[in-house]
Amino acid sequence: MALGWAKPQTCFVYGTLMESSVLEALLGWVPEAQEAVLSGYRRYLVVDEEYPGIRVVDEEYPGIRPSSVENSEVSGLLIVGLTNYEVSIMDSYEGDAYQRLPVEVGRGLVMWINQ
C-alpha cells in the first residue's frame, strides 16, 4: 500500500484551546488560527467532570450544543494545518465530556468541533 500525506485538519475551538499557551503545551507549537463564528449553537457550562489529571468540582468549563433559538452563535477560532495526530492530542485534552463532530462554519467550511 502506498503511503501518502494525510490532508491537514481544521478545527473550531471555543474554550481553553483558544489560548496559545495551551496549544503550545499540547502540540509543541501554535498553529495558524482565525476568528470564526459557529451559527446555530449556544454555549453551556460543563461542571463536575473528569479532565486529564484533575477532577473538576465546582468549576465551570464551556461546552456547546445545537440551539433552536434564533441568531444563536458561538465565537471561537478556526485552527488550521493540524495533523490527525495533533487532533487526537486535542481530543485527549478535551476528555470524554466532549464529542468531536463535523459542522459548517462561516463561509460553508466544514470543520470539527468538540461538543
Of the pLDDT bands very low, low, confident and very high (cuts 50, 70, 90), residue 89 is: very high
Of residues 109 and 64, more confidently modeled: 64
State the Cα–Cα distance between residues 37 and 12, nearest whole angstrom.
9
Catalytic residues: 94
Write the pLDDT tens digit of every residue in 6-17. Answer: 788 888 888 889
**Which residues have a Cβ under 8 Å from the Cβ of 103 and sit 6 or more positions away?**
12, 38, 41, 110, 111, 112, 113
- pLDDT over 50 (residue 26): yes
- The 8-class DSSP code of residue 6 comes to P
pTM above 0.85, yes or no: no
Of the pLDDT bands very low, low, confident and very high (cuts 50, 70, 90), residue 91 is: confident
Give pLDDT, residue 32. 93
Give pLDDT, residue 112. 55
Pick the CATH number of 9-114 from 3.40.640.10, 3.40.50.300, 3.10.490.10, 3.50.40.10: 3.10.490.10
What does the mean pLDDT of the chain come to?
77
